[in-house]
């Protein structure tokens, strides 16, 4: 049997370059997974921005303090998503925020994190309140929750939430 590198008539430098290309692709996948995990943790630790409509209602004196208000407003997203006591209206705000985050994302890792937060909000409403806050079918949601629950870069808490939501959707289909 002829060795593949000999049948292609590659010299040592070309063979090494081809091997490096394959290894770089594996490294790129690992780098993307690490970027996703890091950004997800950062996003889950961040807080929701203050609602602009609320700021408009404040007197001008307090409106000037809006930056300070934003830094102390509410619980981190991760806490909101995993707390059964979080109200459906707040979960909807998180979902809408994640949708906006995804639309404004600059790269694939940011889009993936925004998508995970978006689906985590939908999952939280389903699991904790038995309310579907999405136009997606139960079948489509089940598939999304299945995929996200298996992603290694998704935090353990969100993975558990996705698995519970997947089971809930399976009952509906």
pLDDT digits (tens, 9 = 90+) for 6-17: 445 556 655 555
Residue 121 has pLDDT above 70, yes or no: yes
Cβ–Cβ < 8 Å for 44, 118: no
3-class state of residue 76 by DSSP:
strand
**Which tokens belong to 131?**
């309310």
**Residue 3 belongs to a domain:** no
**Residue 66 belongs to a domain:** no
In sequence order, the β-bridge partners of residue 47 are 76
How high is the pLDDT of residue 71? 45
Q: How many structural domains does the chain have? A: 1
**Residue 5 belongs to a domain:** no
**Residue 40 belongs to a domain:** yes
Cβ–Cβ < 8 Å for 125, 133: yes
Degrees to nearest 5, angle at CA 11 with 9 and 26:
100
How high is the pLDDT of residue 48? 78
- Residue span of the structural domain in which 34 resides: 10-45+76-172
What would the pLDDT profile of 58-84 be if each residue is shown by its tens digit? 666 565 565 555 544 578 999 999 999
Sign of the alpha-carbon dihedral angle for 68, 94, 40, 33 = negative
Confidence of residue 173 (pLDDT cuts 50, 70, 90): confident
**Residue 1 belongs to a domain:** no
What would the pLDDT profile of 20-34 be if each residue is shown by its tens digit? 555 444 555 678 889
Q: Lowest mean pLDDT: which of 35-49, 74-88, 113-127?
A: 35-49
**Residue 69 belongs to a domain:** no
């Amino acid at each position: 049997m002829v060795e593949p590198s000999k049948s292609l008539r590659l010299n040592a430098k070309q063979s090494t370059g081809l091997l490096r290309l394959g290894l770089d692709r594996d490294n790129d996948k690992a780098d993307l997974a690490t970027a996703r995990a890091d950004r997800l943790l950062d996003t889950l630790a961040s807080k929701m921005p203050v609602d602009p409509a609320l700021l408009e209602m404040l007197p001008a004196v307090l409106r000037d303090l809006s930056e300070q208000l934003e830094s102390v407003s509410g619980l981190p997203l991760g806490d909101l998503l995993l707390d059964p006591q979080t109200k459906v209206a707040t979960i909807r705000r998180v979902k809408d925020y994640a949708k906006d985050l995804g639309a404004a994302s600059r790269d694939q890792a940011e889009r993936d994190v925004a998508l995970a937060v978006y689906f985590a909000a939908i999952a939280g409403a389903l699991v904790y309140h038995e309310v579907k806050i999405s136009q997606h079918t139960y079948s489509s949601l089940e598939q999304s929750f299945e995929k996200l629950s298996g992603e290694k870069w998704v935090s353990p808490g969100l993975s558990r939430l996705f698995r519970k939501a997947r089971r809930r959707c399976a009952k509906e289909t």
